Structure 1
């Protein structure tokens, strides 16, 4: 039975989530035990299990909160940015930093947790329409070609992402290498001359 949500318990819940997700990112999910999380917070294992029944539930809540925060950040970025190229640059910097501080083992371990996989798949379906909207904005702004089939572009980038994850390319290459050699090359193909100019400006070596 779940304990009453007192301010202390809510605060502890957040601390557990933050501590666990940091450890998962640094060491990989499999390598971190619930005991390790309890010890890091100087709480009993019983207290930890009273708040989170198991590691999968803890991971699920951490992933869910991550996507909620990132969704809010994207909406703000989408609204406040002057054009799609600014958005691309911001996301590029964000992803590079995320991969810099995250162990490849973290990504490799994710598919071992069914509830997390189900959530990620559902989130992916929701993000499809948002990506199409992003592409349409790029066309309207004159940075993406108007003769481009946006649905096929979305499918292509989805396939790229799946290939990177399924073949664990993050084990062999840095995020900068994957973005510069796969994502940006693909993006450049459907940019207008003006779009290419801005890409070269933002990503010039």
Structure 2
């Protein structure tokens, strides 16, 4: 449990301030333990970063796989996955990605995870077509790239200072899905949109 808390806290700090700017002392202070305790679990900062990212990705992957096995359409899966993620969102700043280049092992894992997640998305899109919730004939490779760029755009910036990040992310997600849904898919999506609109009131 302590190891998990160390990884979660470290990733939160890295996301906010960048990797280089955060010391092991900073992490220890925020967890409420000694720096020596951190070194009982992790050899150095790169090991902590790498294991933390593996832990984070494995957790997300587990949630998605659990939803895939449930009685859901792909539209349900995407929205429910979004809802689970937004229980504890983490927005990595540009400095984090710049610093990540200094840690080759962690960077390699990140690239591998991105490629694996992209393949997972393509399979979900294909499944959505078979279920009749997504339109046939759509170039989903382009759709996946657009989604990736939209996520980058959503990262906190002055552009959206009048709106919460969750409100912006939700608007982008639902607009994006509406563009590829069939009537059947839209009927499912509208149920979630109605629920979310009432949460904001």
- Quickly name the TM-score band, shorter chain normalised: 0.7 to 0.9
Q: C-alpha offsets along residues 44-70 of structure 1, whole Å, 9 cap, x if unaligned? A: x44533542322321221111111122
Q: Does 1:35 align with 2:25?
A: yes
SS at match of 1:201: helix
* From 81, 90, 109, the counterpart of 2:71: 81
Q: Which runs of 5+ in 2 are unaligned?
A: none
Taking the aligned partners of 2:160 and 2:2, their CA distance within structure 1 comes to 30
Change in Cα spacing, 1:81 to 1:141, as seen in structure 2 (3 Å) is same
Size of the alignment, in residue pairs? Answer: 186
Q: Which residue of 2 aligns with 1:190?
A: 180
- Higher Cα Rg: structure 1 or 2? 1
Find the counterpart in structure 2 of residue 110 from structure 1: 96
Is the aligned partner of 1:98 residue 2:84?
no
Stretches of structure 1 that go unaligned for 5 or more consecutive residues are 1-13
Residue of 9, 18, 27 corresponding to 2:5? 18
Cα root mean square deviation, aligned: 2.8
- CA distance 1:159–1:108, shift in 2 (3 Å): closer
Q: Cα deviations across residues 74-129 of structure 1 (Å, max 9, x unaligned)? A: 11211113211221221121232222xx4x5x544431123333322221111111
Change (3 A) 1:142 1:62: same
How far did residue 180 of structure 1 move?
Answer: 3.1
In 1: Cα distance, 2:22 partner to 2:75 partner: 38
154-163 or 125-134, larger mean C-alpha shift:
154-163
| CA pair 72-148 structure 1, distance change in 2 beyond 3 A | same
TM-score (norm. length: structure 1)? 0.75
